[in-house]
């Protein structure tokens, strides 16, 4: 299969019930509907790949530490186990794009890169990147449309664990460099309505590193299809214009894969967009209005909708 024959992107609409809520929302991986066998795969590839690849290369070139800060407390065994999983998943689930050669090199047809690693799943060499790949995790993440994070938990330490590594080229108004090394509740503290989940942090982290794999969804509204909404960037995609109205539903498919022996979990974030005026139905727009109405003032502010809620609802109501 060539790049030109990449499949159409999967479609998800996680707010069909018409309510906004902050919840763990964990379901068994593959329980999504409508996308066939692809739903059971951790990593997904589609015709949008070139844009995602270019976005990752641009983010890395801007400032690597901003999107892939140095890991914190990530031991060699956990790193090797997760890198091995990524490589084997790609070769198994997407053999048309990834070939594992003699167990020590990954041929990546989509990027034309060859990534060579040792028996400990440490990077030996790869096609020259700018800046050079720091490690195997960096090289592998740069082949994907997903962003990646690794959660660690020490059985003798804080049951919340900590964010040990992250490769976040497509942030949605949060910064990787501010989260690395922090425990679960500190990472999620800015999320409006998170207080209900804070007490459950130890059990949630336990599920992340011991059970699964899981899938969950998050969503928000933006005014562009820019993948990179780092809070330090100039354009944030939240200024709704009544003169030239544009509204995009930004949907995140998130998966969690556990590595119990390593006390670790791999968290993936894949961003999808739906043009609210052109790509969702009238019934789905009604569900969106209902979900916006269900938001608290705190949630509206967190999602950047506190100043435009009524204008957005009026515009949605005018669509036919």
pLDDT digits (tens, 9 = 90+) for 118-152: 999 999 999 878 999 999 999 999 999 999 999 99
| Beta bridge mates, 162 | 152
pLDDT tops 60 at residue 1: no
- State the Cα–Cα distance between residues 132 and 125, nearest whole angstrom: 10
Q: How far apart are CA 66 and CA 107, in angstroms?
A: 28
Residues 6+ positions from 6 with CB-CB distance below 8 Å: 45, 46, 47, 49, 110
Q: Of how many residues is the chain composed?
A: 320
User: What percentage of the chain carries pLDDT values higher than 90?
Assistant: 85
Give the residue, 259 or 237, on which the prediction is more confident: 259
Q: Which residue has 């299969």 as its token pair?
A: 1
Residues of the chain with pLDDT > 70, as a percent, come to 98
The CA radius of gyration of the chain, in Å to the nearest whole number, is 20
- Stretch 167-191: mean pLDDT, rounded? 95
Query: What is the residue whose two structure tokens read 């670790």?
Result: 264
CA distance 311 to 163: 38
Mean pLDDT over 205-221 rounds to 95
Asked whether residue 66 carries a pLDDT value surpassing 60, the answer given is yes
Residue 315 has pLDDT above 50, yes or no: yes
Q: What is the mean pLDDT of residues 46-69?
A: 97
Over residues 275-296, the mean pLDDT reads 96
CA distances to 12, 105, 112 from 98, in Å: 25, 10, 10
Find the helix packing angle between 282-293 and 309-318, rounded to 10°. 160
pLDDT above 80: residue 235: no
Name, of 28-37, 90-99, 149-158, 186-195, the range with top average pLDDT.
Answer: 90-99
Q: Would you state the pLDDT for residue 3?
A: 52
- Rounded Cα distance between 238 and 247, Å, is 9
CA 121, CA 102: separation in Å to the nearest integer? 14
Q: What integer pLDDT is reported at residue 233 of this predicted model?
A: 87
All residues at 6 or more sequence positions from 222 whose CB lies less than 8 Å from its CB, including other chains: 229, 237, 238, 247, 248, 250
pLDDT of 86 over the 50 cut: yes
> What does pLDDT average to over the chain?
94
Residue 4 has pLDDT above 60, yes or no: no
3-state secondary structure of 141: helix
- In the structure, what pLDDT confidence band is assigned to residue 33 with cuts at 50, 70 and 90? confident
- For residues 207 and 79, give the distance between their C-alpha atoms in angstroms, rounded to a whole number: 19
Mean of pLDDT values over 174-201: 92
Long-range (24+ apart) CB contacts under 8 A made by 34-40 are 34/10, 35/10, 35/11, 38/7, 38/10, 39/10, 39/215
pLDDT given for residue 128 in this prediction: 78
């Amino acid at each position: 299969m060539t790049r030109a024959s990449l499949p159409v992107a999967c479609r998800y609409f996680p707010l069909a019930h018409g309510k906004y809520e902050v919840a763990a929302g964990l379901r068994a991986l593959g329980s999504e509907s409508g996308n066939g066998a692809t739903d059971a795969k951790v990593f997904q590839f589609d015709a949008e790949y070139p844009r995602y690849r270019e976005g990752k290369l641009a983010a890395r070139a801007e400032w690597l530490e901003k999107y892939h800060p140095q890991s914190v407390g990530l031991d060699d065994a956990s790193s090797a186990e997760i890198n091995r999983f990524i490589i084997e998943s790609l070769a198994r689930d997407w053999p048309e794009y990834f070939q594992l050669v003699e167990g020590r090199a990954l041929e990546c047809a989509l990027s034309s890169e060859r990534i060579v690693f040792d028996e400990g799943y440490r990077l030996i060499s790869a096609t020259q990147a700018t800046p050079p790949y720091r490690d195997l995790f960096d090289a592998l993440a740069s082949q994907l449309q997903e962003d990646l994070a690794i959660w660690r938990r020490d059985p003798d330490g804080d049951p919340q664990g900590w964010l040990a590594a992250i490769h976040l080229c497509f942030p949605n108004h949060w910064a990787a460099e501010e989260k690395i090394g922090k425990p679960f509740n500190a990472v999620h503290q800015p999320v409006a309505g998170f207080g209900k989940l804070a007490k459950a942090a130890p059990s949630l982290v336990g599920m992340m590193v011991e059970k699964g794999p899981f899938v969950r969804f998050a969503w928000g509204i933006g005014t562009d299809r820019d993948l990179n909404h780092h809070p330090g960037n100039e354009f944030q995609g939240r200024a709704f214009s009544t003169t030239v109205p544009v509204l995009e539903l930004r949907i995140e498919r998130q998966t969690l894969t556990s590595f119990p022996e390593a006390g670790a979990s791999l968290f993936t974030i894949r961003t999808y967009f739906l043009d609210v005026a052109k790509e969702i139905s009238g019934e789905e727009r009604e569900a969106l209005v209902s979900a916006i109405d269900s938001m608290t003032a705190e949630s509206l502010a967190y999602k950047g909708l506190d100043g435009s809620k009524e204008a957005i609802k009026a515009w949605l109501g005018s669509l036919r």
